[in-house]
Every structure is written in C-alpha cells, then in structure tokens.
Amino acid sequence: MDPMADLNAPHSMGTTIIGVTYNGGVVLGADSRTSTGFYVANRASDKITELTDNVYVCRSGSAADSQIVSDYVRYFLHQHTIQLGQPATVKVAANLIRLLSYNNKNMLQTGLIVGGWDKYEGGKIYGVPLGGTLIEQPFAIGGSGSSYLYGFFDQAWKEGMTRDEAEKLVVKAVSLAIARDGASGGVVRTVTINSEGVTRNFYPGDQLPIWHEELEPHNSLLDILNSSSPEPMNIQ
C-alpha cells in the first residue's frame, strides 16, 4: 500500500489524555501529537478544550469529531448559563457530551474526559469513551497511550493528593506514554481547575524525563540552521 494514500485519511489523535482529581480540584493533561495515518499533521496541538470557565474536556480519537462535539456542548452550556444565571456544573457538561456521543455513536469516533470544579460537588472527572457511556471516576485515562498506563496508575494513584502531587503525576504519566506509544508525542499540556480558577501549564519535550532506552536529545539540522552565529566553513 502506498503510504502517501494516508495523507487523505481523517486527522486522528493517537493520543494520551488524563484527568486526575486531587484534594481541592482536578488536573487534566494531554500530549500534543495529531496524526494523519503515518504523517504527523500537528506536533503541538492543544487537546484540552475549554467548555466553560470551570469545565474543560480532553479530546482523543478523530480530531474533527471531538472538535464538533466540544463546539456544540460549549454553545449549549453558554445558553444554559444565561438561562440559570450561574455557571453550569461539571455533571451537566458531562451529561451533554454523553448525550451527543451516545445519540451519534454510529458516526463519531471520539473518546473524551470531562473535568472541572463547581461549588456543589467540587472537583469531578467524568470519562465518556467511544459509544457514549458516562463514568464518574477519581482518575481517567484515554487514547492509544492509555494502554501503557493502567499498571502505572494502579501503583502511583492515591487518595487525597495535593495539587503539586497531582500535576507531577499527570506530567510523569503523559511522558511515560509518549516514550512507549508511537502515536503520542510532542509537548505536555496541563490544566488545573479549582475554586481559585484555572491554571494552564506547558512542558516542552526536552524538559520531560527520559525513560528506559530513550535517547538523549541532540541538536538537529534545524537547530544548526537557526543558529544565530554558525561556524564558518573552511574550504581547502
């Protein structure tokens, strides 16, 4: 089969997405690689999408499907907020995503993790896998990289983590999936949501931990070409 034929394939996110609750809020994390077959269409995409000021969603699967679901839910939640005069809860946002995913399960190829904080239930994480099932969980992992992380989370997860512990766990888990899963890669983005608001963090690929058998980063040809003062060439 001609590999170039894959350039016409739908953009999909062979992905690692994670949502973790901690004592006071939630931390969402994701890698940044978007692929079209064997071709990396975007190496720095943002897979954590804002639905409301206090609710975000991590997207995996078909990029187009996850984006259109997020757009619809964002619109519905905006209307909901105007009608009620207060922010929507995390449960309402997760149920809207569940409704759209389940009613269109024959056409959508996307798995989502909804996370946020509200004044009624605090920090909550909901998984909405392929097919539209809604599952409330203390932590959720999804995407192609998740298969490498179940044992890791069984060992590393604990109740009542601090914010710092939760964020370090998410970054460590995503970097581990990037090392093992060929469809995950790029940088790591996190979003922390609690009663004080939302904090986004960015971790470049060269600052992630190196795992077993991974190669140390080296200067690429692009680094040499972009150098401000390249060494002169001597011609004999």
Q: How far is the C-alpha of 97 from the C-alpha of 74, rounded, in Å?
A: 10
Tokens describing residue 100: 């759209």
Residue 182: name the closest of 144, 221, 214 by CA.
144
User: Tokens 């994701």 identify what position?
Assistant: 30
Question: Which residues are annotated as catalytic?
Answer: 15
Kind and range of the H or E run holding 93:
helix 90-103
* CA distance linking residue 17 with residue 38, whole number of Å: 20
Q: What is the largest CA-CA distance in the chain?
A: 78
Q: Distance of CA 38 to CAs 59, 183, 187, 235, Å?
A: 20, 9, 19, 40
Residues 6+ apart with CB under 8 A from 98: 128, 132, 133, 134
Nearest to 119 by CA among 76, 159, 87, 164: 87
> What per-residue string of b and e applies to 49-81 under the rule 16 or more CB within 10 Å gives b?
bbbbebbbbbbbbbbebbeebbeebbebbeebe
